[in-house]
Amino acid sequence: QLQLQESGPGLVKPSETLSLTCTVSGGSISRSSYYWGWIRQPPGKGLEWIGNIHYSGSTYYNPSLKSRVTISVDTSEKQFFLKLSSVTAADTAVYYCGIYCSGDTCFFPNAYDIWGQGTMVTVSS
């Protein structure tokens, strides 16, 4: 059973870059049907999709964040990463990593079936 764990600084200063890591355990990261994603929830608001990365390295970003977001993967370390640049208070949120399995070979096709517990990131000076 795959498990995910987010890690990274809980406090980031305005205008700086937010950097988070999602570590995968319990299975392979290199499966062609998997997209590894980041989702966030600002306080008092709903879930917002940030972006996904396929193990091949193909990336897909929320258009509203695309200019500031970079998602990358290190398959040898079984980790994937989020970088969000030029952060403001509006980027304060709980950040989740998740696995989206695409296609009929998935146990739960076309859904985020595995999530990390989330990590709170506050943007403040």
The residue ranges that bind other proteins (CB under 8 A) are 37, 39, 41, 46-49, 52, 60, 62-63, 96, 98, 100, 102, 107-113, 115-118
User: Are 84 and 66 in contact, with CB atoms under 8 Å apart?
Assistant: no
User: Which spans in 2-120 are helix H?
Assistant: none
| Closer residue to other proteins, CB minimum distance, 14 or 26 | 26
DSSP-derived letter for residue 17 is -
* Whole-number Å distance between alpha carbons of 80 and 30: 11
Distance of closest approach, residue 14 Cβ to other proteins, in angstroms: 26
Distance of closest approach, residue 9 Cβ to other proteins, in angstroms: 20
Which tokens go with 93? 């949120």
| Closer residue to other proteins, CB minimum distance, 80 or 112 | 112
Distance of closest approach, residue 77 Cβ to other proteins, in angstroms: 22
What backbone torsions phi and psi does residue 10 show, to the nearest 5 degrees?
A: -85, -10
User: Are 87 and 107 in contact, with CB atoms under 8 Å apart?
Assistant: no
| Closer residue to other proteins, CB minimum distance, 81 or 112 | 112
Distance of closest approach, residue 65 Cβ to other proteins, in angstroms: 12
